[in-house]
Structure 1
Amino acid sequence: MQAQSQGFVLTRQSRDSRGSTEITLWVKTPEGPAKLTIVGDEPVCFVRQQDLDGAQHSLKDTGVNTRWKSLALSNFQHQPMAAGYSKTIKDSHQLASVLQHAGIEAYESDIRLADRFLMERFIRGGIAFTGQLKRRNGFLEYANVKAKAADYRPELTVVSLDIECSEKGVLYSVGLHSDNDSRVIMVGKPEPDCAEQNWIEWVDSEKALLEALEAWFVRFDPDVVIGWNVIDFDFRLLIRRAEWNNVGLRLGRGNQQMHWRQSSQNPNQGFLTVPGRVVLDGIDTLKTATYNFRSWSLESVSQELLGEGKAIHNVYDRMAEINQMYREDKLSLATYNLQDCKLVTRIFAHTHLLDFAIERSCLTGVELDRVGGSVAAFTNLYLPQLHRAGYVAPSLDSDNWIASPGGYVMDSKPGLYQSVLVLDFKSLYPSIIRSFRIDPLGLVEGLLLEEGRDDEQAIAGFRGGRFHRQRHFLPKMIEDLWAARDQAKRDGEKAFSQAIKIIMNSFYGVLGSSGCRFFDHRLASSITMRGHEIMKVTRELIEAKGYEVIYGDTDSTFVSLNGSFSADQADDIGKGLVTYINQWWREHLSETYGLESALELEYETHYHRFLMPTIRGQETGSKKRYAGLVDVGENERIVFKGLETVRTDWTALAQNFQKVIYQRIFHDQPVEDYVREYVEATRNGQHNEMLVYRKRLRRNLSEYQKNVPPHVRAARMADEYNKRHGRPLQYQNGGWIEYVITLNGPEPLEVRQSPIDYEHYVEKQIRPVADGILPFIGQSFSEITAPQLGLF
């Protein structure tokens, strides 16, 4: 039966079948999940027409089935192109390999078949389709599908999954939390106090647990699985235990098995495919949404976001307690297991992470579970437009990578200031792209224009860049995203607004990345160097009004008003400066370039007191480090940027001290007694709970050979202890280590044996914080803490 519908693409796969290709799209529709099958779509790559004879000759006797066709397309060097169509994905890979061996460039050969099918039809999440419909058990199946883009937002069903296991990876239980069902599947027999706990499903063995999990997925059929490190730990272990128990573990839709692919670059990371279902890891998704936390453990993130965490922090205490609960108190273990699931669900709800992932997919066409993906997003958006303009995309060519200047960072003027304003250019790099028509196609077309004869069509960039006034795509893409974000803000759609902001701001990074096929140093330099110019001129305009610019960083300008002003007075000055500067740029771009300015300076903050510190041990001003007092009164707060309080490699001792001493100095309160008492209390052991260092091991322990840092020494000591006590080694392949400095050097927190070296903490944690601000009020840490001399 021929039928049509619409939906949202969940997963995409392609494979060879019966001498042809087969693309499978799993889609969430208003009628439920649907499997779409497209047969016979041909993989394609491009070669220069001048290389066509050589390509055909190289393919003789290889058995590679290729159909060639000359096209009205050219590369960025304006050379005519021919397309090579393959019958199968295997043939397309062999074609690319043969051409590479023959020294013939195969353009766009790395574009995956399913991705090309969707992007060339501008399908970004939402899809409209027709096909031959068959009703299967639990889903709809469409064959011979034809598809196009549609504006469709899905209602997705979600389950949060978490496992508990022994230190050897033997499964104890699996927790599942969704709107439709919450349960823990537990290996063992019900205990007396568990008789009425119908949310615990008891099974006899690990194999039975895996089978019960598979049955749960068939019954409740979630679209999305969420969890914490759920791919690289939970699913990885489930697959391993399924293999050990000889269980297929078909958690995909249509009774399909999951597929695990090990990362070739990171032994602790892999890639998971669950046909018909999306797996979103909470850590990766939060990072993609630009969240950042001191620690990425579930308890730390949930504590920071929700004000709730778990009681057990040490991994071995936790393991010992889990083992004990499994042996003696399975109800407590089940409760603990399900609580982890609920915490992840609440984190996703609190941060609107699923909404963010959906909007990102609708904007760019990248998969819901794609981590990062800025280059893929840009390619999805740009490539089909480029083809319609008559060009094929260049290949990746990292060998020709030339670095472009970074963002503008002005030398700061250190000091303790009254009334400092921060003026920010709204999305500076995207606004430069819009204003100056910076674009890959625009560069290609602009370089064709003759200097002197076609200047009215060209806009000069930097480092030889020239951009065409009319022939471009990126400025319009950003203009549309900008308008959509402004509307999202007005409508209170935070997830949509955040998704747009991240995508829009990623475009510069993509164009400046050697991992992007559209990289050209003239593109990136024309953005950053124009930014330098804009920031320098803006500084001159402000100082011409009688104010002092004390610092500038990428798109932010810090302005001292040279005195103390009330909030209302400072607001009036800030708004006046913004109005004047924006009008100046509008007139300048119109008169000088004949362009409409998209530059928009905004008045962001008034700091009632502001510290711009020096570089430690020098008189030169710092960069990217400052602190300021905002909103004097009930809502006042101190903003720290780059200082010890917001850095993970400083102890709570230093951070607490910094917050208090800055608060006092910003309010002109005395600090001498506080400094002396804080130092004395530290030496007396009253602050021991704040002395812990927490650092990340970024390499394997064995790779640290020379100049072994303290945290590595502590990690080695911890694993030596683990080895002696028959416990798994915890730190060999990276991770986080907590340690303290003792009289015998660094020692891991969990196995400390020596007395704490309090003088280390006074000199290395408290003193640097004090020395960063006390000189600006004419005080000295050494003088304040020197022993008091008596009269007799």
Structure 2
Amino acid sequence: MLFQVLDVDYTIVNELPVIRIFGKSDRGKPVCGFFEGNSERYLPYFYVDSEMDINKVLEGETNVHKTERVKRFLPIGYHKEKKDVWKIFLKNPAKTPELRDRLKAKGFDVYEADIPFKYRFMTDFGIRGMDWIEVENEVPVNTNTVNVESKIVIKKIKTTERELSDLKYLAFDIECVPLKPGSVPDEKYDPVIMISLVFSEPYKGKKSMVISTRPGKGVTSFETEKEMLEGFVKIMMEYDPDILTGFNVKNFDIPYILERMRQNEIVPMFGRCKKQVTANKVMSRYRVNLTGRIIADSFEIVKRDFSMKRYDLNTVSENLLNENKEDVKHSEIDKLWKGSQDGYEKLVTYCLKDSKLAMSLLLKLNLLDKYFALAKTSGTLMQDILDSGETMRIENVLLNEFNKNGFILPCRPEGSDVAKREKQRIIELKGGFVIEPKKGLHSSVIVLDFKSMYPSLIRTFNICPTTLIIDEDMENSIMSPAGAKFVPESVRKGIIPSILEGLMKERGDVKKRLKVEKDPQKKKGLDAKQWALKILSNAFYGHFGYPRAKIYKLEIANSITSFGRETIARTKEFIEKKYGYEVVYGDTDSVMVKIDKEDLEEIKKIGDSISRDVTKNLKGVMELEFEKVFKRFLPLTKKRYAAWCFELTQDGWKDKIETKGIETVRRDWCDLVSETTKRVLEIILKENDIKSAVKFFNGIVKEVTERKVSIQKLVITKTLTKRADGYAGVQPHAELAKKMKKRSPADAPGVGDRIGYVIIKGLDLVSKRTEDPMYVIERGLEIDSKYYIENQLLPPVERIFSALDVSKTELLGKGKQISLCGALNNFSGKPKKIEKVSLDEVNGLICVKCSKCYDMPPLTGLCECGGELMFSSVKGIARSVTV
């Protein structure tokens, strides 16, 4: 039998653990393999470094099975010989932490006592996440502890390479109604009223279904919530999906359903074993334990992989699928549920569409391909790839390679040790080298990139915990610019350099295959694999400087960055001396060289020539390569720039506006800001016309001032995450929700609704001047132009223009030195003094001495310069106001 590994856990049989491997067979059937081995049971173990007889220390420890004296290399520092350490075998993996902590408290050095038992097993037998296992002469197992079709005994592990199995997906979405109208649904009290399900393969002839406690067209109805939840479990177990998905199911739908099951006295068992499904909250996120299945939350993956202004399902679907949710607000759900049959059917359609969109996001966009590849590359189970960060992936690779070479790993630090490391990191860690950017707008800039710089430096200089010279004084050593010493490869090749050599070679091979592959599906698989190899390779440097890492060593992290800084500095010097070109910027692993050419092909030839010359003078496997051309390049500060970028692809040169450290989209910006910022950059970079860019922005300011901009472009949107009166501080969208509730309680936005608002003119705090756009249009209220110009438009655009020596006053007033209030007063240089101004016409306050503007008067009643403050309006400025 062949089957692909989806999950691994263990169960206790006769007081000892038995490993269970859950997977999908090559015939599409769920499988659970119980590992027995050829003789005795496979047991958990860890190591203790001690010269004492550890057996005397362990007397009375009932969880210890046996001990052995073995030889292993310690993990940190170059050691010529292995050391005698104790290998302690245990009976119950769950009790390992208790013994580990007791030994640590007695002063013993303990190693590998925090390895999850499933990964201890997978490492020892060479199994990676999503691997295929070949089982010969499988023996059936008669057990009711697992809910799968094929239950077998595995005596020998043999892995093999195959394509991904055809996995079965189930997407679902729940609707719930709070018993107290307008409040947030509370899983302890408020029932689930409806669940929609969408299947990747038909279930009883259906591609989708909706279950509910109210009858309706196309709905499978139940008398009570309890019966419906039991029905949900029944469908889950009969359909038996490999992957469960939905939009935010991990942090809302699943925890909510589990609590409702508890309230209804239902045992939550819908995994592939007789174990209750649990959801444990860590910080603000849930970790769901669903044995044998994978939970792939579309929301979490999209948020990780795509940059968007908002991440609600409607915005995400519109951007990625060109589809929309059904038009139903959260506040309408209660009315639709309790109202007419037509309203109820609208709610059913709404619920079903959410599940369909979640499924489409996962399958149509192939969101999981990269993560399947990362699971295999790192040896990590798929659920851990989706739930955990890069630390777990790196430590799985380290465990495998260290153990293979006779080394042991330390345990992760805890408590005060982490605090010490964090303090040390802040003081001592040195980052990459950044060449001070040359100010101004540059043309024809070549971007030259060091290929996999940090991994290449690690390989070139044999940088590794296992090669770091700590105690010995060795003549034959490599010293980093940071002062640390390492043994050369001729003495011992480091484990990390060896890992990186394998990863980088494999990625190179995959990229070669990718270039000639014609099959679109295979191309996607190869691209996912090269991405996974790149991600893993680049993660090692950061691991050495991460305070919670098992192998934290600042000497190593600083050695890598110091070699990097030295390489960048020497490269800059070499290019400027040999070629006479100006290096206008450099950042960690790249240099940007300004040349006096226009033709892209000619520029590329020069870039290739420079790269070859520099590479010849580099040590080891270091390599500089041509990456792209910036036809126009605008550096603002270190780590912040914008460029008109040209990259050579198989289809020729492709161009785009590239930004780094410059925001063109933010959730708290209205659409006008994003549109304006992008257009300003286009005019500067593509048209090479700073004056036109200033003129364009002047025009936008004028349009806003004269109220000629569509109100829809001024709308700022935010989700109401709790009751409007439940926020601690004054929040703009919550203040509007309160107003709307007073005007029309039935139509007021509820928890979960997105509220679009604009800022209207007035003297109150900005948060008190939020208003519903439709209400503004209907009543002819004035938008606060000053707010939009000063707080929305100016901040991002001013940062761009300041790099070109264009002042704020030029942006607002055609080059004249006038204040914002002056710009609002019909762009006149000096505001006109009038006797009185109407309260409705007041824009704010202005200092007659320095022209500084204020929304609210300072406590002193005077400007900070000591000048008198007067009321500002379109007509002029005045000392008094008429109401």
Q: Under TM normalisation by the shorter chain, which class is it?
A: 0.7 to 0.9
**How far has the Cα of 1:223 moved from its partner?**
0.9
Question: How far apart, in 1, do the equivalents of 2:48 and 2:721 lie?
Answer: 42
| 1:690 lines up with 2:713 in the alignment | yes
Give CA deviations for 1:117-148 in whole Å, capped at 9, x if unaligned: 00122211313345532478751112364324
Q: How does 1:197-346 map to 2 (within 5 A)?
A: 197=218, 200-254=219-273, 256-263=274-281, 265-266=282-283, 268-286=284-302, 290-310=305-325, 312=327, 315-316=330-331, 319=333, 323=337, 328-346=342-360
Distance 1:184 1:610, change over 3 A: same
Question: How far apart, in 2, do the equivalents of 1:416 and 1:737 lie?
Answer: 40
**Identity, % of aligned positions:** 25
Distance 1:299 1:483, change over 3 A: farther
SS in 2 for 1:645: coil
Question: How far apart, in 2, do the equivalents of 1:518 and 1:697 lie?
Answer: 43
Q: Calculate the TM-score normalised by the size of structure 1.
A: 0.84
| 1:123 lines up with 2:122 in the alignment | no
Distance 1:174 1:487, change over 3 A: farther
**How far has the Cα of 1:673 moved from its partner?**
4.8
**How far has the Cα of 1:368 moved from its partner?**
0.6
The partner residue of 1:624 within 639, 646, 661 is 639
Question: How far apart, in 2, do the equivalents of 1:325 and 1:146 lie?
Answer: 62
SS in 1 for 2:767: strand
Give CA deviations for 1:178-207 in whole Å, capped at 9, x if unaligned: 23222222314554xx3xx4xx43333322
Q: 1:466: which partner in 2?
A: 486
SS in 2 for 1:118: helix
Amino acid at match of 2:211: M
The partner residue of 1:133 within 137, 140, 148 is 140
Q: Check the 8 A contact 1:549/1:559 in 2, yes or no.
A: yes
Q: 1:158: which partner in 2?
A: 169
SS in 1 for 2:383: coil
Q: Check the 8 A contact 1:549/1:558 in 2, yes or no.
A: yes
| 1:604 lines up with 2:615 in the alignment | no
Question: How far apart, in 2, do the equivalents of 1:697 and 1:101 lie?
Answer: 49
Distance 1:174 1:44, change over 3 A: same
Residue range with higher mean Cα deviation, 276-285 or 764-773: 764-773
Amino acid at match of 1:607: F
| 1:38 lines up with 2:35 in the alignment | yes
Question: How far apart, in 1, do the equivalents of 2:749 and 2:91 lie?
Answer: 51
| 1:479 lines up with 2:501 in the alignment | yes
**How far has the Cα of 1:535 moved from its partner?**
1.4
The answer for unaligned runs of 5 or more in structure 2 is 179-184, 515-522, 776-780, 816-822, 833-883
**How far has the Cα of 1:282 moved from its partner?**
1.9
Give CA deviations for 1:158-192 in whole Å, capped at 9, x if unaligned: 2222222224342232222223222222314554x
Give CA deviations for 1:329-386 in whole Å, capped at 9, x if unaligned: 3333232222222222222234422222221111112111222432222222222332
Question: How far apart, in 2, do the equivalents of 1:34 and 1:396 lie?
Answer: 34
Q: Check the 8 A contact 1:26/1:35 in 2, yes or no.
A: yes
The answer for unaligned runs of 5 or more in structure 1 is 590-595, 614-621
SS in 2 for 1:295: coil
Q: Check the 8 A contact 1:740/1:746 in 2, yes or no.
A: no
**How far has the Cα of 1:14 moved from its partner?**
2.5
Q: 1:364: which partner in 2?
A: 378
SS in 2 for 1:440: coil
The partner residue of 1:173 within 187, 190, 194 is 194
| 1:515 lines up with 2:548 in the alignment | yes
Question: How far apart, in 2, do the equivalents of 1:440 and 1:272 lie?
Answer: 35
Amino acid at match of 1:605: K
Distance 1:89 1:630, change over 3 A: closer
Q: Check the 8 A contact 1:357/1:369 in 2, yes or no.
A: no
Question: How far apart, in 1, do the equivalents of 2:341 and 2:107 lie?
Answer: 64
Question: How far apart, in 2, do the equivalents of 1:311 and 1:367 lie?
Answer: 36
Distance 1:335 1:738, change over 3 A: closer
**How far has the Cα of 1:325 moved from its partner?**
7.5
Question: How far apart, in 1, do the equivalents of 2:257 and 2:402 lie?
Answer: 43
Question: How far apart, in 2, do the equivalents of 1:479 and 1:322 lie?
Answer: 61
Q: Check the 8 A contact 1:184/1:337 in 2, yes or no.
A: no
The partner residue of 2:537 within 497, 504, 507 is 504
Q: 1:184: which partner in 2?
A: 209
Give CA deviations for 1:687-710 in whole Å, capped at 9, x if unaligned: 4323345679999999999xx7xx
**How far has the Cα of 1:239 moved from its partner?**
1.0
**How far has the Cα of 1:41 moved from its partner?**
2.3
Aligned residue pairs, count:
742
- Structure possessing the higher radius of gyration over alpha carbons: 2
Question: How far apart, in 1, do the equivalents of 2:727 and 2:483 lie?
Answer: 41
Residue range with higher mean Cα deviation, 75-84 or 158-167: 75-84
The partner residue of 1:113 within 88, 95, 117 is 117
Question: How far apart, in 1, do the equivalents of 2:176 and 2:19 lie?
Answer: 37
Q: 1:593: which partner in 2?
A: none
The partner residue of 1:347 within 356, 361, 379 is 361
Residue range with higher mean Cα deviation, 477-486 or 632-641: 632-641
Give CA deviations for 1:509-552 in whole Å, capped at 9, x if unaligned: 22221222112112211211111111111211222212212222
| 1:758 lines up with 2:785 in the alignment | yes
The partner residue of 1:555 within 584, 589, 594 is 589
The partner residue of 2:447 within 398, 405, 422 is 422
Q: How does 1:641-660 map to 2 (within 5 A)?
A: 641-660=660-679
Amino acid at match of 2:317: S
SS in 2 for 1:106: strand
Give CA deviations for 1:276-317 in whole Å, capped at 9, x if unaligned: 2111112333456x4433322222222222222336486546
| 1:83 lines up with 2:87 in the alignment | yes
**How far has the Cα of 1:110 moved from its partner?**
0.7
**How far has the Cα of 1:502 moved from its partner?**
1.4
Give CA deviations for 1:664-720 in whole Å, capped at 9, x if unaligned: 333145345533331122134424323345679999999999xx7xxx633664686
